[in-house]
Chain A
Amino acid sequence: MNEEVLMEIRRDYVLSKLRDGERIDGRKFDEIRHIEIKTGVFKKAEGSALVKLGNTQVAVGIKMQPGEPFPDTPDQGIIIVNAELVPLASPTFEPGPPDENAIELARVVDRGIRHSKAVDLSKLCIEEGSKVWIIFIDIWALDDDGNLMDASALAAISALLDTKVPAERFELGDDFPLPVRDLPIAITSLVVEDKILVDPCRDELSVGRNVITVTTDQEDNIVSIQKGGPFLLSEEKLDEIIELSIRKARDVRSILSKI
Chain B
Amino acid sequence: MKKEEIKLIIDNRRLDGRKFDELRPIKIEAGVLKRADGSCYLEMGGNKVVAAVYGPREVHPKHLEDPSKAIIRYRYSMAPFSVEERKRPGPDRRSIEISKVSREALEPVIMKELFPRSTIDIFVEVLQADAGSRTACLNAASVALIDAGIPMKGIVTSVAVAKVDGVLVLDPIKEEDYYGEADVPFAFLIRNGKIESISLLQMDGRLTFEELKEALRLAKKGAMKIYQLQREAIMKKYIKEEVIE
Contact = CB atoms under 8 A, between A and B. Distances in A.
A9 interface: no
A242 B209 CA distance: 7
Contact of B213 (A229, A232, A239): A239
A71 interface: yes
Contact of A225 (B3, B109, B202): B202
A100 B198 contact: no
Interface string A221-242: 1111111111111110011001
A220 B184 CA distance: 17
Interface of A: 71-75, 98, 100, 103-104, 106-107, 111, 114-116, 212, 217, 220-235, 238-239, 242-243, 246
Contacts of A225: 184, 201-203, 212
Contacts of B202: 225-227
A231 B101 contact: no
A100 B201 contact: no
Given A71-B1, A73-B3, A230-B107, A235 B97 contact: no
Given A72-B2, A104-B100, A223 B197 contact: no
B213 A221 contact: no
28 contacts: A71-B1, A100-B97, A100-B99, A104-B100, A106-B93, A115-B182, A220-B208, A221-B207, A221-B208, A222-B203, A222-B207, A222-B208, A222-B209, A223-B204, A224-B203, A225-B201, A226-B101, A226-B202, A227-B104, A228-B100, A232-B108, A232-B189, A232-B197, A233-B197, A233-B198, A234-B197, A238-B198, A239-B213
A217 B96 CA distance: 27
Given A103-B96, A227-B104, A232 B205 contact: no
A106 B184 CA distance: 19
Interface of B: 1-3, 93-94, 96-97, 99-101, 103-104, 107-109, 182, 184, 189, 196-209, 212-213, 216
A233 B201 contact: yes
A39 B188 CA distance: 42
B97 A103 contact: yes
Contacts of A224: 203-204
Given A72-B3, A100-B97, A221-B206, 15 more contacts: A71-B1, A103-B93, A104-B101, A223-B205, A225-B201, A227-B200, A228-B100, A229-B104, A232-B108, A233-B197, A234-B197, A238-B198, A242-B212, A243-B209, A246-B209
A242 B109 CA distance: 24
Nearest to A71: B1
A133 B97 CA distance: 27
A234 B2 contact: no
A225 to B, nearest CB: 4
Contacts of A107: 93-94, 97
A154 to B, nearest CB: 19
A111 B206 CA distance: 10
Contacts of B212: 222, 225, 242
Contacts of A217: 206
Contacts of A242: 209, 212
